[in-house]
Amino acid sequence: MHVKFGVIADLHVDIMPDGAARMQGFCEEAVRWGAEFLIHLGDMQYPEAEFLREADANGVEKAKQHSWFFCDRDDEKLEVKRLLRETGLPMYGVLGNHDMDACSKKATCRYWGMPSPYYSFVRGGLRFIALDTNHIVTEDGVLDFEVNNYRYYPGAQLSYLTSPQLKWLEEEILRSEEPCVLLSHAPLGDDLLCTKDRQEVWKILERVNADRRRVIFALNGHNHIDGMSVRRGVPFISINSASNIWIGHRYDAIRYSETISRLYPHIKGCAPYRDALFAFFEIDDETIRMTGRKTGFVGPSPQQLGFPKTSAYHEPVPFIRDRVLPVAALDGDGRIEEGQ
């Protein structure tokens, strides 16, 4: 097996003043480096107004009323999609929680060209399994994330895979002729801001990896941090956001200019990264080789502002580490301490 691909997560075009420029950086580097395809790990952008209107006659009004970060800068969103198209590379995605802030899950899948909320694909002798961590568990049953309905439920009820998907996951791994990589938006290996039924995934790993190594690693976005956890010998890697870490409006700071802060009101609650972050992976039978990008924060860092250590499972940093991991079981359980 041999495969080379690029990964980007949590671009959040609706928050950032330079989302399209960040995407341009990723696309140019991916083509230069020789990526065979691209993966995005969710929370890229809300669909533009024309798409929302087509999906639902009142789609734009609903999005304005319910979504967190609605912006009407459709030119930037169209530019992001154009840049991706012009790479000529296939792109595969997972659903981020914010991807359904503005519309239904079905519409989001259509917008990103996904066959269904969870699915798998094979590239270069590896099977990538894209999971949907966006379910709400209520007393009356399971709900999909739709038009930001999850804001009305407590955190404990959010971010579930749920049993039908877990059953499908195990079957998909067992019938796969290729080793598998798990992709999700919310983490499956961390213990904070994570998928709530992740321990069911770890139990699946115990079973499917017992006689041979069927699942070799997992990638997630969502938490805008770089870090690695190990569960049942499998590395779970958090891919940092391309853009920022959200630290909340209690740490509001003017980091660009008053004008930009007015036009992009949510940027004040973020610690943005000066340059876009993304990662490239090259995998063969023995090694998972990962190359990340490094930059700095725009303005004060979360640490300088007193953002508590306990608010993030891994230390907030403006970079993605390089890692070289064996395609073999790793030691450890939970967060792995890594150097800078």
Summarize as ranges the residues that interact with Fe ion (CB under 5 A). 43, 96-97, 222
SS3 content of the chain, % helix, strand, coil (to 5): 30, 25, 45
**Min CB(74)–Fe ion separation in Å:** 22
- CB of 9 vs Fe ion, minimal distance in Å: 9
Cβ 200 to Fe ion shortest distance, Å: 21
Cβ proximity to Fe ion, 9 vs 180, nearer residue: 9
Contact 279, 226 (CB under 8 A): no
| Closer Cβ to Fe ion, 97 or 148, answer by number | 97
If the CB atoms of residues 245 and 298 are measured against Fe ion, the closer one turns out to be 245
- Residue 16 or 35 with smaller CB distance to Fe ion: 16
**How far is 202 from 161, CA to CA, in rounded Å?**
13
Query: What are residue 37's DSSP bridge partners?
Result: 5
The residue number with the shortest CB distance to Fe ion is 222
Q: How far is the CB of 332 from Fe ion (least distance, A)?
A: 25
Three-state secondary structure call for residue 53: helix
C-beta of 51 vs 246, nearer to Fe ion: 246
Give how far Cα 293 sits from Cα of 67, 255, 330, Å: 30, 22, 24
Q: In whole angstroms, what separates CA 122 from the centre of its chain?
A: 19
Cα 268–chain centre separation: 22
- Count the Cβ atoms, other than its own, within 10 Å of residue 314: 20
Tell the smallest beta-carbon distance from residue 256 to Fe ion (Å).
Answer: 23
Nearer CB in complex with Fe ion: 60/158: 158
In the complex with Fe ion, the residue whose CB is nearer, 209 or 220, is 220
Task: Give the rounded distance of the alpha carbon of 111 from its chain centre.
Answer: 16
- Which of 318, 313, 325 is CA-nearest to residue 286? 325
Minimum Å gap between C-beta 93 and Fe ion is 13
Size of the chain, expressed as the number of residues it contains: 340
> Could you tell me the smallest distance in angstroms from the CB atom of residue 194 to Fe ion?
11
Instruction: Measure CA of the first residue to CA of the last residue in the chain; give whole Å.
Output: 30
